[in-house]
Structure formats: structure tokens, C-alpha cells
Structure 1
């Protein structure tokens, strides 16, 4: 069994590889050679068309209780109660709240890096590409944050593609 830090690094590398493959396919720009960084730097680094780019990786689970369920952890009484109470809030509202909270938390960090992109991988099985593609213009992205771009990998495997969250594409911001 892996330690939680080994599991976290493995998930980050997997998310980075999926993002790089999707970005490369979508834009025809080569992304390669990832390596893991120490905490003062973003999670992984790579080369985007031969220029260094740092990626901060995050996973969108919804809530801590949902993360435990999705990751297959043992669900004790309090966690089960928290999952039950989540059913009271509409799924779309929970999606926006979770994304806003995640981005807000990451925006408060500072990184020893010239270029940082935030890559969020959706790990929640009930949130799909259609809902995710409609969220960028609804997000409350803090005015001050360290990210040049923010991207969302729409599912754990990358099958549903990429969603740009920041800057919001012109066609989405005018919707």
C-alpha cells in the first residue's frame, strides 16, 4: 500500500501526463519531460514548446467527504452523515462552490516560478463535461492569483477533454 504522499505524487503525475497529452493534441504544441518539484515550486515542471512551464495540479472531488468516498477510504459515521447532507444541495451549485473554493485556496499560494498554470482534474463521477464547460464565466476567480492560465481536465482519464477556465475564452464570456 502506498503512503498518502506517494499516492498524491502519483495522482499529480498522472494528471500532468493526461493534461500534457490533451493540450498537445488540441493545440499541436509539444509538451514533454515532466519532473516533480519540492513544495516551494508548483507540483510538476515540463517544457511547452521548449520553454519551461510549471504546473500546479489539483483534483476536484467536491468535498472532503466525497474525496474519501471517491478514493475508496473507509467511511465512518461522520463522513456518511456529511455525504447524506450534501444531497440537499443541487449538484450544479456544489460544482461551482467546489471549483471556487479550490481556485481560491490555490490562488493564495505563491510559487518560486516564472510561469505557472493551474491544472485541475475532475475526479467527481457526477460532474460531466457538459456541466464543466458551462462554468468558466460563472466562477469567482480572485483578482490576484499566480496563474497564467487555469485548465480543467474534465474527467479522471482525459476522455472528456479540456476546459479552459482562465482566461475565459471570448466565446464563453459573451454567452
Structure 2
């Protein structure tokens, strides 16, 4: 059985590879060679064309209880109760709240890096590209954060594409 640390690193590398493939396809630029970093740096590093770029990877699960369910963990009383209570809140509201919370938490981190992009991979099976594409302009991205760009991979496999979250002008111009 893999340790949770090994599982986390594997998920981060998988997300980085998917992001790099989608970004290359969308903008026709070369991204290559990822490696894992120590905690003071973002999760993985790569080269965008000839320049080093660091990627902080996050997965959007919704809540801790949903993450446990999605990752196939054993669900017990409190977790089951938490999952049940989530049914009271509309799915679209929960999506926006979860994205805002994730970005806010990541924005508080500081990295030993010149260029950091935040890459979020949607792991929630009930949130689809159509809903995700409608959220960027509704997000409350903190005014102070370490990210040059923020991207959302719309699903676990990359089939649903890539959504720019910050700055919103990224849809037209790659950096």
C-alpha cells in the first residue's frame, strides 16, 4: 500500500503532466521535464520553452469529507454525516465556495521561486466543464498572492480541457 505522501506526489505529477499536455496543445508551446520539489518550493518544476516554471498543484474535491469519498477512504459516522449535510447546499454554490477557499488557502503560501503558477485539477465527479467555465469571473481571488497565473484542469483526465482562472485574459495570450 502506498503512503499518503507517495499518493499525493503521484497525484501531483499526474496533474502536472495533464496540465502541461493541455497547455502545449492549446498554445503550441513546449513544456517538458517535471521534477518534484522540496516543501519551500512549489510542488513540481518544468520548463516552458527554455524558462523554468514552478507549478503548485491542488486538487478540487469540495470538502474533506468529499475528498475521502472520492479517494476511496473508509467513511465513518462523522464523515457520513458531513456528506449528508452537503446535500442541503446547491452544487453550484458549493463549487464556488470550494474554489474560493482553495485559492485563498494557496494564496497564503510563500515559495522560494521566481515564477509560480497554480494548477487546480477538478476531482469532483459532480462538477463539469460547463459549470466550471462559468465560475472564473465570480471567484474572489485575493489581491495578494504569489501566482503569475491560475489554471483549472476541468476533470481528472484532462478530457474536459483547461480553464484560465487568473488573469482572465489568459484565454487569448500565453506567457
TM-score (norm 1): 0.97
| Count of equivalent residues | 171
Structure 2 counterparts to residues 78-97 of structure 1, below 5 A: 78-97=78-97
Residue in 2 aligned with 1:129?
129
1-side partners of 2:32 and 2:72: how far apart? 31
Runs of 5+ in structure 1 lacking a partner?
none
1-side partners of 2:49 and 2:136: how far apart? 26
Residue in 1 aligned with 2:161?
161
What is the root-mean-square deviation of aligned Cα atoms in Å?
0.9
Residue in 1 aligned with 2:9?
9
Runs of 5+ in structure 2 lacking a partner?
none
Residue in 1 aligned with 2:116?
116
2-side partners of 1:98 and 1:76: how far apart? 22
1-side partners of 2:111 and 2:76: how far apart? 36
Q: Which deviations, in whole Å up to 9, do the C-alpha atoms of 1:5-44 show, x marking residues without a partner?
A: 0000000000000000000000000000000000000000
Structure 2 counterparts to residues 1-175 of structure 1, below 5 A: 1-169=1-169
Structure 1 stretches of 4+ with a deviation exceeding 2 A read: none
1-side partners of 2:19 and 2:87: how far apart? 31
Query: What is the CA-CA distance between 1:108 and the residue it aligns to?
Result: 0.1
